[in-house]
Chains A and B, each alone.
Chain A
Amino acid sequence: MSKFLALLFRNRLAALGGVVIAVIFVLALITPLLPLQSPDDTDTAHRFLLPFSGGHLLGTDQLGRDLLSRLLWGTRLSLAVGIAAALAAGFVGSAVGIVAGYFGGRTDNVIMRGVDMLMAFPYILLALAIVAALGPGLMNALIAVAAVNVPFFARNIRGITVGLAGREFVDAARLSGKGHIRILLTELLPNVLPVIVVAMSTTVGWMILETAGLSFLGLGAQPPQADLGGMLGEARSAMISSPHTSVVPGVMIFLIVMSINLLGDGVRDALDPRLRSGALSRPKPATDVRRAGPVPEATGALLEVQALETQFHVGRRIYRAVNGVSLAVRPGECLGVIGESGSGKSVTALSVMGLVASPPGVITGGAVRYKGDDLVGAPYGKLRSLRGDRVAYIFQDPLSTLHPLYRIGDQLAEAITAHHGVGGREARQRALKLLRDVRIPNPESRIDNYPHEMSGGMRQRVGIAMALANDPDVIIADEPTTALDVTVQAQILSLLDDLRRDRGLAIVFITHDFGVVGQLCDRVAVMYAGQIVEEGPTQAILDAPAHPYTARLIACVPELGGGRRALAAIPGLPPSVDDLPPGCAFAPRCARAQEGCTAAPIDMREGAVAGTPGRAVRCINPEEAIA
Chain B
Amino acid sequence: MGRYILRRLISAIPVLLGITVIVFLIMAMIPGNPAQAILGAYATPDNVARINKSLGLDKPLWDRYFIWLWNMLHGDFGRSYSLNRPVIDEVMDRLSATAILAGVSWVVASLLGILAGVISAARQYGLADKLITFVVLIGISIPSFFLGMMMILFFAVRLQWLPASGMYEIYGGGGLGDLARHITMPAIALSVVATGVIARLSRSAMLEVLRQDYIRTARAKGVNERRVIMGHALRAAMVSVIPVLGLQAGFVLSGAVYIEIVFQWPGIGQMLVNAILQRDILLVQGGVVIVAALYVIFNILVDVAQSLLDPRIKT
Question: Which A residues form the contact surface with B (CB < 8 A)?
Answer: 113-114, 116-118, 120-126, 128-136, 209, 212-213, 216-219, 232, 236, 239-240, 243, 246-247, 250, 253-254, 257-258, 261-262, 279-283, 285, 350, 353, 355, 357, 380, 384-389, 392-393, 395, 397, 400-406, 414-415, 418-419, 450, 452, 466, 469
Contacts and interface: CB of A to CB of B under 8 A. Distances in A.
Nearest to A385: B222
A122 B295 contact: yes
Given A122-B295, A254-B143, A395-B213, A129 B284 contact: yes
B26 interface: yes
B214 A123 contact: no
Contacts of A253: 143, 146
Contacts of B221: 387-388, 392, 414-415, 418, 466, 469
A280 B208 contact: yes
Contacts, number: 235
Nearest to A116: B15
Nearest to A452: B312
B288 interface: yes
Contacts of A133: 26-27, 29-30, 281
A122 B219 contact: no
A217 B261 contact: yes
A131 B15 CA distance: 23
Given A130-B26, A250-B143, A403-B232, A285 B213 contact: no
B38 to A, nearest CB: 11
Contacts of B4: none
Given A123-B251, A128-B284, A219 B276 contact: yes
A164 to B, nearest CB: 26
> Which among A246, A254, A355, A403 has the greatest number of chain B C-beta atoms within 10 A?
A403
Interface in B281-315: 281, 284-285, 288, 291-292, 295-296, 299, 309-312
> Which among A130, A132, A217, A385 has the greatest number of chain B C-beta atoms within 10 A?
A132
A283 B211 contact: yes
A419 to B, nearest CB: 6
Contact of A357 (B149, B211, B220, B279): B211
Interface residues of B, number: 84
B192 to A, nearest CB: 12
Nearest to A212: B143
Contacts of B232: 403, 406
A209 B143 contact: yes
B176 interface: no
A418 B219 CA distance: 10
Contacts of A392: 220-221
Contact of A285 (B219, B251, B254, B277): B219
Contacts of B224: 384, 418
A418 to B, nearest CB: 5
Contacts of B145: 213, 216, 232
B257 interface: yes
A72 B232 CA distance: 52
A58 to B, nearest CB: 16
Contact of A395 (B141, B217, B223): B217
A120 B225 contact: no
A283 B216 contact: yes
Contacts of B35: none
A123 B254 contact: yes
Contacts of A258: 137-138, 141
Interface stretch (B16-24, B47-55, B56-64, B79-87): B16-24
B257 A128 contact: yes
> Which among B215, B255, B281 has the greatest number of chain A C-beta atoms within 10 A?
B215
Interface string B215-247: 111111111110110001001100100000000
B143 A387 contact: no
A134 B257 contact: no
Nearest to B272: A128
Contacts of A118: 22
11 contacts: A117-B18, A117-B21, A117-B22, A122-B295, A132-B276, A132-B285, A232-B146, A280-B211, A404-B236, A450-B312, A466-B217
Given A129-B27, A415-B221, A452-B312, 11 more contacts: A116-B15, A121-B250, A123-B250, A123-B254, A132-B27, A261-B140, A261-B141, A281-B124, A384-B224, A386-B222, A419-B222
Contact of B220 (A125, A355, A405): A355
Given A122-B291, A250-B143, A418-B222, A283 B311 contact: no
B143 A117 contact: no
Contacts of B152: 239-240
B183 interface: no
B284 A132 contact: yes
B180 interface: no
B312 A401 contact: no
Contacts of B273: 128, 217-219
A380 B204 CA distance: 25
B225 A353 contact: no
A222 to B, nearest CB: 11
A50 to B, nearest CB: 15
A368 B2 CA distance: 54
Contacts of B114: none
Given A117-B19, A240-B157, A246-B149, A132 B281 contact: yes
B171 interface: no
Nearest to A407: B311
Nearest to B193: A209
A213 to B, nearest CB: 6
A415 B217 CA distance: 10
Interface string B118-155: 00011011000000000001101111011001101100
B201 interface: no
> What 5 A-B pairs are tightest by C-beta distance, nearest first?
A117-B18, A258-B141, A124-B254, A250-B146, A388-B222
Contacts of A217: 257-258, 261, 273
Nearest to A466: B221
B184 interface: no
B253 interface: yes
B18 A113 contact: yes
A114 B15 CA distance: 9
A128 B288 contact: yes
Interface string B268-282: 000011011101010
B218 A403 contact: yes
Contacts of A219: 273, 276-277
Contacts of B30: 133-134
A331 B21 CA distance: 75
A217 B258 CA distance: 7
Contact of B141 (A123, A257, A400): A257
A526 B26 CA distance: 73
Nearest to B220: A393
B198 to A, nearest CB: 16
A114 B21 CA distance: 10
B88 interface: no
Nearest to A117: B18
B185 interface: no
B73 to A, nearest CB: 18
B206 interface: yes
A132 to B, nearest CB: 4
Contacts of B275: 132
Nearest to B239: A405
B44 interface: no
A115 to B, nearest CB: 10
B262 interface: yes
A380 to B, nearest CB: 7
Contacts of A281: 124-125, 207
Nearest to B157: A240
Nearest to A130: B26
A282 B121 contact: yes
Nearest to B207: A282
A414 B27 contact: no
B137 A400 contact: no
B284 to A, nearest CB: 4
Given A281-B125, A282-B210, A136 B141 contact: no
